[in-house]
Amino acid sequence: MIVCVCHRISDREIARHARAGMGFEDIQFELGVATQCGQCECAAREVVAQCCASRPVAAIQHNCAGGEGRAWTSQQSSQA
């Protein structure tokens, strides 16, 4: 499924990069996802979070409708 229409980036491509150990910001820089219109950011972050869910670091997703679409790790949330 195409997640980023502006750059024609699929969920599979995002997942492949996430499984390779890249975080959302790295994927965003590498692929250009969520850098044009921004409509795909929530979906792209969700794909990354799903791929990272099997790793020991938990990913907590903020509600994108609330304005912030940043994913937190358990390490970041313990510092807050």
Residue with the two structure tokens 């670091």: 57
Q: What is the pLDDT of residue 77?
A: 44
If one counts the domains in the chain, the total is 1
DSSP 6-54: TTTEEHHHHHHHHHTT--HHHHHHHH-TTSSS-TTHHHHHHHHHHHHTT
Q: pLDDT value at position 38?
A: 92
Which pLDDT score, from 0 to 100, does residue 4 have?
96
Question: Strand, helix or coil at 76?
Answer: helix
pLDDT tens-digit map of 10-51: 999 999 999 999 999 999 999 999 999 999 999 999 999 998
pLDDT at 7: 96
Q: How far apart are CA 79 and CA 26, in angstroms?
A: 22
What CATH number is attached to the domain comprising 64? Answer: 1.10.10.1100
Q: Provide mean pLDDT across the span 47-68.
A: 64
Q: Which two tokens stand for residue 44?
A: 């792209």
Domain range for 35: 2-79
Tokens of 79: 């510092």
